[in-house]
Amino acid sequence: MWGTSKVRIIYDIGSNNGDDISYYLIKSDLVVAVEANPVLVDLIKNRFHHEILHGKLIIENVVITTANASTVDFYIHKTLHVLSQFGQPNENEIDNFHKVRLPSKSLVDIISAYGSPFYIKIDVEGYDQEILRHLFQNKIFPPYLSAESHNIDVFSQLVANGHYNAFKLVDGPSVATVYASHLVATMNGLVEHHFPDHSAGPFGSDIPGPWESAKTFFQSLANAGLGWKDIHVSNVELPER
């Protein structure tokens, strides 16, 4: 459903190289992209210079944290930038990263600055559950929300807050195949969109299939397993099973 009474804002938390931004731009009035890695931020600025210039895209080059710290340590993976993370890597993996000091903000403060979210995508390599906890503690429950399910605590947070009972799952490794040429809903009708490898894929009703209740989705998640999979929830859709 496309509302007409207010600005529709999508928050892309963990934008990486910006592969999700073109989709979010056709789904919203404003995209707020948050990415810690300065090299990737420069890439996004070059890719979307026009949209930034015309106020459709705002970029926050910060690490998302839940603490009140102006700067934090961030670990950039030396060969796979998608694995960069806040929080020290495991001892047996730390040689694959180099540590940098970067500015940080809370997602709550960013939302306060730009406006209420229509959809929030969270993909920050192992810190998703902390961001969810902080959002819900601050009574922020957007109509659509997704987070990566490397940890069962992500599902627990989404269920325990009591505001979501419609669930879908997007399998990360198959996005570029399953959604290579996919129809998505926009304010101007259906358009074809091509989701590239390592993008998050569609959200909301652009994801095919019925919305599931928490109870039936738990079984679906158990069958699929945790890992590179995004749990999508909504509080404006109704589960069909």
pLDDT tens-digit profile of 136-170?
999 999 999 999 988 889 999 999 999 999 999 99
Burial of 3 (0-12, 13-18, 19+ CB in 10 A): exposed
DSSP sequence for 105-116: E-HHHHHHHH--
pLDDT tens-digit profile of 89-138?
788 888 888 888 999 999 999 999 999 999 999 999 778 999 999 999 99
Q: Supply the pLDDT for residue 161.
A: 92
Question: How big is the CA angle at 64 (ends 61 and 65), to the nearest 5 degrees?
Answer: 145
- Fold topology of 9-234: Rossmann fold (3.40.50)
How many percent of the chain have pLDDT more than 90?
A: 75
Mean pLDDT of the chain: 91
Q: How far apart are CA 214 and CA 211, in angstroms?
A: 10
Residue 81 has pLDDT above 80, yes or no: no
Q: Supply the pLDDT for residue 241.
A: 65
Distance of CA 29 to the CA centre of its chain: 17
User: What would you measure as the largest C-alpha separation in the chain, in angstroms?
Assistant: 52
pLDDT tens-digit profile of 14-50?
999 999 999 999 999 999 999 999 999 999 999 999 9
Residue 3 has pLDDT above 60, yes or no: no
Higher pLDDT, 83 or 207: 207
Buried b (16+ CB within 10 A) or exposed e, 157-194: bbbebeebbbbbbbebeebbeebeebebbeeeeeeebe
Structure tokens at 13: 């938390």
Residue 172 has pLDDT above 70, yes or no: yes
Q: At what angle do helices 214-224 and 152-160 cross, to 10 degrees?
A: 170
Q: Supply the pLDDT for residue 151.
A: 81
Residue 5 has pLDDT above 70, yes or no: no
Q: Supply the pLDDT for residue 73.
A: 86
| Residues present in the chain in total | 241
- List, in sequence order, every beta strand (DSSP E) within 61-209: 63-64, 71-77, 85-86, 97-105, 119-122, 144-148, 166-171, 182-186, 189-193
Within 10 angstroms of residue 201's Cβ, the number of other Cβ atoms is 23
Q: Is the dihedral of CA 200, 206, 212, 216 positive or negative?
A: negative
Q: Supply the pLDDT for residue 237.
A: 97
Q: How far apart are CA 88 and CA 104, in angstroms?
A: 16
Provide the residue type at 196 as one letter.
P
Q: How far apart are CA 195 and CA 187, in angstroms?
A: 19
Q: Supply the pLDDT for residue 224.
A: 80
Residue 1 has pLDDT above 60, yes or no: no
Residue extents of the structural domains in the chain? 9-234
Residue 4 has pLDDT above 70, yes or no: no
